[in-house]
């Protein structure tokens, strides 16, 4: 059974291959994201690393930023191409599906390495960044919702 389109075509995988997710997956994903986020903040406040590990964590943090943000920009580029009628909506969904892993690897790397960077948790700027990280994670979990409702596949087939 073929799960993707032939080479060169970026159409999304067939809806029959991927059954809809149960609705509780959104709550579970949101809960896991919030717990990991809180654990990272707790770890950053209670862990002291030596300068070598701090540099390694900073390197991982920057690499994770490049990987995650680069993947997000890829989806944004194809979204812009769709708005300009240069590609189809199923192609945008296929690209988003294909870069899903690098996006989440980037987020995980940022959260994990950020816990070792010992951020100043009293700074308003740091608090704003941490709130935005949580918001991005929860919005990422919301992307599960269309699939749980079967909307993504329906919209991709209609386009």
DSSP 19: P
- Residue 155 near residue 96 (C-beta atoms within 8 A): no
The model carries a pTM of 0.74
Helical (H) or strand (E) element with 110? helix 100-114
Report the chain's C-alpha Rg in angstroms.
18
- How would you write the pLDDT of the chain (159 residues) with one tens digit per residue? 444 444 445 554 544 456 777 878 888 989 999 999 999 999 999 998 999 999 999 999 999 999 999 999 999 999 999 999 999 999 999 999 899 899 999 999 999 999 999 899 999 999 999 999 999 889 888 876 665 555 555 444 545
The residue ranges of every structural domain in the chain are 55-143
């Amino acid at each position: 059974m073929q799960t993707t389109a032939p080479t060169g075509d970026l159409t999304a995988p067939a809806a029959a291959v991927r059954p809809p997710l149960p609705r509780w997956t959104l709550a579970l994903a949101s809960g896991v994201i919030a717990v990991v986020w809180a654990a990272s903040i707790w770890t950053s406040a209670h862990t002291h690393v030596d300068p070598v590990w701090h540099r390694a964590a900073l390197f991982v943090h920057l690499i994770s930023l490049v990987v995650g943000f680069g993947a997000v920009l890829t989806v944004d580029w194809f979204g812009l191409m769709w708005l300009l009628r240069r590609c189809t909506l199923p192609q945008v969904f296929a690209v988003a599906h294909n870069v899903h892993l690098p996006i989440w690897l980037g987020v995980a790397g940022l959260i994990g390495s950020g816990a070792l960077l010992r951020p100043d948790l009293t700074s308003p700027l740091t608090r704003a960044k941490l709130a935005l990280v949580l918001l991005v994670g929860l919005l990422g979990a919301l992307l599960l919702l269309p699939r749980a409702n079967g909307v993504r596949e329906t919209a991709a087939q209609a386009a």
